[in-house]
């Protein structure tokens, strides 16, 4: 069962400049940064709030590390802006299978490792009214990388 909006992914050309905009404009601070070589992105997670299920909601700012990454291609076509929305779930495996059974294309056969040690998969935007949708099971608090 999907429990919350885990994060909204925003693609940007300059991560440092975009982080500074969100810090100066809204007061959001960076909670976590990392480079995901597999996905070809450098990212910053800005925590917005805690949630009742023990998780949190974030803005995920994404800067491509290479032009041929999914985010790099998306930026070249669309420019900066909202790239995807991610919903939190306690069971990314079960929920992705249940959604697949309803005819929605799940992009990964098996969930992959995402930000802060989470497990993730994506749903095809053509099956989700034009919205790239991510499902996220957060790592246990003790296992989260800050």
Which residues form the catalytic set?
7, 43, 60, 84, 134
Q: How many CB atoms lie within 10 A of CB 78?
A: 11
| Residue 105 DSSP one-character state | P
For residues 29-62, one letter each, b for 16 or more C-beta atoms within 10 angstroms of the residue's C-beta and e for the rest, the string is eebbebebeebbbbbbbbebeeeeeebbbbbbbb
- Helix locations, 27-118, DSSP H: 70-78, 92-101
Rg over alpha carbons for the chain, rounded to the nearest Å, is 15
Parallel, antiparallel, or unpaired: how do β-strands 56-64 and 2-11 relate?
Answer: parallel
Quote the CA–CA distance of 144 and 113 in Å, as a whole number. Answer: 12
């Amino acid at each position: 069962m999907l429990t919350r909006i885990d994060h909204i992914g925003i693609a940007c050309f300059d991560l440092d400049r975009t982080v500074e905009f969100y810090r100066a404009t809204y007061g959001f601070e960076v909670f976590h940064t990392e480079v995901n070589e597999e996905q070809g992105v450098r990212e910053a997670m800005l925590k917005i709030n805690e949630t009742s299920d023990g998780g949190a909601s974030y803005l995920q700012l994404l800067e491509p590390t290479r032009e041929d990454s999914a985010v790099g291609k998306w930026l070249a076509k669309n420019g900066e802006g909202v790239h995807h929305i991610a919903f939190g779930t306690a069971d990314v495996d079960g929920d992705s299978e249940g959604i697949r059974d309803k005819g929605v294309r799940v992009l990964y056969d098996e969930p992959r490792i995402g930000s802060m040690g989470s497990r993730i998969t994506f749903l095809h935007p053509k099956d989700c009214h034009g919205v790239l949708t991510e499902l996220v099971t957060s790592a246990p608090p003790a296992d989260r990388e800050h």
